[in-house]
Amino acid sequence: MTPHINANNGDIAKIVLAPGDPLRAKFIAETYLENPRLVNTVRNVLAYTGTYKGKELTVFSTGMGMPSMGIYSYELYKFYNVEKIIRIGSCGAYSNDYDLFDTILVNNSYTEGNFAMALDNEDCHIIGASENLNNIIKQTASERNIICKEANVLCSECFDYYIADLNVLLNRLPKEYNITAAEMESFALFYTAKYLHKEASCLLTVVDSHAKKQEVSSEEREKSLNNMNLLALESCLKI
C-alpha cells in the first residue's frame, strides 16, 4: 500500500490502462474485462483488475492534471512493479484536421510547466512516448482498421477553455513541435516513466475542437470513446 493506493501486492497487473475519470475506469472494466474486481478505492480513484481475452490488465483512474498523474504513475511503477501504462483520455483539438471522436496517438508531449524540474531538477519541457508501445499501437490499429492519427500535444496546467486568451497561448507554443491538440496529463506520465525506466504511451479521443467550435457532453466523454478503448485493449494483447 501507498498513501494513495490501498491495493495489495499482486492486485495490480504489469500493464495498466489509465483513464482520468474514475467512472470511465468503472465503465471500461465492467464493459470489457472478464471478472473485474475493484482493487483501489482511496479518494474514489477507482481501479479494477481483470482479464481481456485472457490477458491480465488493470484499469486505473488517475484524476486530472500532471500532479495527480505524477503521483499515481510513480506509485504504480515504483511500488506495484507496473511495467507499462497506456493513458486513455480525452483532448481538445487545435487543428481542423481532427473531428470529434477522432483517435489520436501521442508522439511527443510539451509543457510550459516545471514538472521535470520539480521531480528531478531537469529543465525539460518536451518528452516522447515509448517508441515500442507506440509501434505496437500503430500495428494494432492497422490490423483492426481503426483510424489513429499521430500528434504532438500540449500538456496544459489549465483547462484551455478557462484561459484568458487562448490565442496568446497558441502563438507562444514552439512552432517546430507542431502541436495540434491539448490535454493535461501525458507529460507527467511520459516523464515519470523515463525517470523510473518504464514505458508509457497515450491514446486520446477528441472531445472538443477549438478550431471547429464543437464539443461533446460529459456522458459521451465517459461512455463513447470506444475506438480508443478497443485499440488500447487489443494492443495490450501484443505486449
Q: Which of 68, 87, 204 is nearest to 148 (CA)?
A: 204
Non-local (6+) Cβ contacts of 82 within 8 A are 12, 13, 14, 15, 16, 58, 76, 198
Distance of alpha carbon 224 from alpha carbon 238, whole angstroms: 24
- CB-based burial label for 180 (10 Å; 0-12, 13-18, 19+): buried
Catalytic residue numbers read 208
- Does the global pTM surpass 0.85? yes
Q: Which domains does the chain have, with CATH numbers?
A: 15-236 (3.40.50.1580)
Whether 224 shows a pLDDT value over 90: the answer reads: no
Written as one string, the DSSP assignment of 93-108 is E-STT--TT-EEEEEE
| Tens of pLDDT, residues 153-209 | 999 999 988 999 999 999 999 999 999 999 999 999 999 999 999 999 999 999 999
Distance of alpha carbon 206 from alpha carbon 198, whole angstroms: 27
| Tens of pLDDT, residues 46-74 | 999 999 999 999 999 999 999 999 999 99
Tell me how far apart the 2 most distant CA atoms of the chain are, in Å.
49
